[in-house]
Structure 1
């Protein structure tokens, strides 16, 4: 079998393994499902091993298939990226960019920048996937992610895209009608707090405080647990308990009297959002333009 046949067969395998479906992979490649199935069977026969486990409901890589996908797949992605970069040197910036970010970063950092950026580059498409977990952007085939500076892995290139941040502990006036306001983080044990469940490990987030170089983490208690900021905010506004949220998300409600802030002196600033991507990634012109548009510039 010639080299081009090998390459085409591997591309077919990667599509099926990533989509976990012959139907979706065939549609993505623009071939019939039967032709794709024939290609995969031929590849398995030549290698002398099964690469995919097929059932009536699903398709999954075997151990050999997973190894091929993990070790060889990224190299094909790099080739695709380089070819795209070459084509963009000839044409105007174009291409698809996938970014993963938390909900707050998507709302306050990505969307405002994209709203200004995209009209000038009609051939650039940007997909934003909201995910609270620590997504493996290489394995999940994202071009970049946006997370807080302290959360970015050391082997990534990080670009600051937002200012320093502060958290805020807030409650509705109705909540404080018959309760004393907490003066120290330890006082939170006497309050009903609205908790956040972390997606990565399923644990409850411990509220973090700092004052005069002293750091504290408080495992709060309360009847309510949510996994998104807007639901926590809504519950706090209704008087259901205290919330711990980014300052910019609650500032307007504080100014207009719908929320009362407490423990402000225990909420120190910390490094804000950063865009990050693999150091070995060769940025395409389209990606480089987007990075520059997102780069934080202090006013």
Structure 2
């Protein structure tokens, strides 16, 4: 009996996961037409439709879902075992893919991982800046970074930063024309700079806590962003009140360009965690990354 070439299964799994023949082709390093032909050949051999194709999207049929569930994790296991063979090399190697937000890269990930990259030149890091709750298994990331209370229970979560406090801030010019809020509910009468996370249909409420009392406030304003990158600049320009982890405003608060209010309603909570699937065998490169990021491993101080 002739042995089967599993390239068609790999092509199918890749298309199913990324939802696009074009993106799958880029990931596999071949042409889009080659991927399409290979998957079509698999469907012809199996005599069943695995994917429903339209001009704009690709979706799984019931048979496709069953096949992906049956074989998808097998390729992950093979890839993990191949990566694990780097233990036999003189130095660990491989690519570690992490999905996270912008600021955590600047404040934590790069400071802690710089020395590792210098020590191990065969290790590569790929950061996916995304504010949605990515499915790291389906999207084939090695890990993600979130607050601890948003990490699924079946994941391993490693603390990588200290407790966090949120900060409510605005420019002196804004408060020169508007009253300073004395209670979180007062924010409903202010222009607030908001953020829309991809995971949600709308903007989320601002959450506060004081002496165990929790409160959610829905705010409104002229500006909504889908990342935190420009919020501090918008607040500094006097365009409204902003609400983010306090380290995102550190520079502007220190030089007086922003004023902090409602500080007593911003109690510290558990900070960022690196999370990853519990069932996946970590590669040596990934294990080094996790060890370097642990909360008790601080970045080296400059001389």
**TM-score by structure 1 length?**
0.90
- Where does the alignment leave 5 or more consecutive residues of structure 1 unmatched? none
**1:52 offset after TM fit, Å?**
3.4
Q: What is the root-mean-square deviation in Å for CA atoms of aligned residues?
A: 2.4
Are the structure 2 counterparts of residues 182 and 298 from structure 1 closer, same or farther at C-alpha, using a change threshold of 3 Å? farther
Are the structure 2 counterparts of residues 84 and 247 from structure 1 closer, same or farther at C-alpha, using a change threshold of 3 Å? same
> 1:161 — aligned with what?
160
> 2:104 — aligned with what?
105
Counterpart contact for 1:89–1:285, Cα < 8 Å: no
For 1:175-214, list aligned pairs within 5 A: 175-214=174-213
Counterpart contact for 2:12–2:39, Cα < 8 Å: yes
For 1:283-298, list aligned pairs within 5 A: 283-297=282-296
Counterpart contact for 1:20–1:59, Cα < 8 Å: yes
- For the pair 1:269 / 2:259, whether they are aligned, the reply is no
- For the pair 1:14 / 2:13, whether they are aligned, the reply is yes
Q: Identify which range, 20-29 or 137-146, moves more after superposition.
A: 20-29
Counterpart contact for 2:169–2:241, Cα < 8 Å: yes
**1:179 offset after TM fit, Å?**
2.4
Q: Identify which range, 144-153 or 24-33, moves more after superposition.
A: 24-33
Query: Secondary structure of the residue that 2:275 maps to in structure 1?
Result: strand
Counterpart contact for 1:172–1:236, Cα < 8 Å: yes
Are the structure 2 counterparts of residues 68 and 231 from structure 1 closer, same or farther at C-alpha, using a change threshold of 3 Å? same
- Where does the alignment leave 5 or more consecutive residues of structure 2 unmatched? 299-303
Q: Identify which range, 123-132 or 70-79, moves more after superposition.
A: 70-79
The superposition leaves residues 145-178 of structure 1 with CA deviations (integer Å, 9 ceiling, x where unpaired) of 0001111111100101011000000110111113
Query: Secondary structure of the residue that 1:100 maps to in structure 2?
Result: strand
> 1:78 — aligned with what?
77
**1:251 offset after TM fit, Å?**
2.1
CA distance in 1, matches of 2:243, 2:30: 51
Q: Identify which range, 252-261 or 66-75, moves more after superposition.
A: 66-75
Counterpart contact for 2:171–2:235, Cα < 8 Å: yes
Q: Identify which range, 202-211 or 41-50, moves more after superposition.
A: 41-50
The superposition leaves residues 171-200 of structure 1 with CA deviations (integer Å, 9 ceiling, x where unpaired) of 101111132211211222332211221211
CA distance in 1, matches of 2:54, 2:200: 30
Count of residues in Structure 1 that have an aligned counterpart in Structure 2: 298
**1:14 offset after TM fit, Å?**
2.5
The superposition leaves residues 209-246 of structure 1 with CA deviations (integer Å, 9 ceiling, x where unpaired) of 11111111111122222222122211110011111111
**1:298 offset after TM fit, Å?**
7.3
The superposition leaves residues 64-113 of structure 1 with CA deviations (integer Å, 9 ceiling, x where unpaired) of 22332233111211121112202433442011111101222223222222
Counterpart contact for 1:209–1:215, Cα < 8 Å: yes
Counterpart contact for 2:17–2:138, Cα < 8 Å: no
CA distance in 2, matches of 1:95, 1:246: 33
**TM-score by structure 2 length?**
0.88
The superposition leaves residues 38-84 of structure 1 with CA deviations (integer Å, 9 ceiling, x where unpaired) of 54444323312122345677655433223322331112111211122
